């Protein structure tokens, strides 16, 4: 990000790709499970929350004071 390498797990990478490809759109947790996890039926929705949290930490160093990943309460997440 911004010319600096960021080490991501494969799941974090797929999560980031899903969010960036849908920039500005709110994606429900179920949709993010489909797009980022290889076996979404065996993974609970809480995994999305923790995946986003880890991703925010990793890219947050480059995002300034505002996170690029925004939580939309009661629905999902959006990449700004």
**Domain coordinates of the chain in residue numbers?**
10-79
What kind of architecture, by CATH, is found in domain 10-79?
Answer: Orthogonal Bundle (1.10)
Nearest one of 75, 73, 70, 74 to 24, comparing CA atoms: 70
Task: Quote the pLDDT of residue 46.
Answer: 84
Q: Which helix (H) or strand (E) holds 73?
A: none
What is the distance between the alpha carbons of residues 7 and 65, in angstroms, rounded to a whole number? 21
Task: Quote the pLDDT of residue 3.
Answer: 80
The tens digit of pLDDT for each residue in 25-71 reads 999 999 999 899 877 677 777 889 999 999 999 887 555 555 789 99
What predicted TM-score, i.e. pTM, was given to this entire model? 0.83
């Amino acid at each position: 990000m911004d010319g600096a390498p960021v080490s991501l797990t494969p799941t974090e990478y797929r999560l980031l790709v899903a969010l960036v490809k849908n920039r500005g759109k709110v994606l429900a947790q179920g949709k993010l499970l489909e797009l980022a996890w290889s076996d979404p039926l065996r993974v609970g929705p809480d995994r999305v929350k923790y995946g986003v949290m880890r991703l925010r930490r990793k890219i947050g160093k480059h995002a300034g004071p505002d996170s690029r990943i925004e939580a939309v309460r009661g629905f999902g997440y959006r990449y700004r």
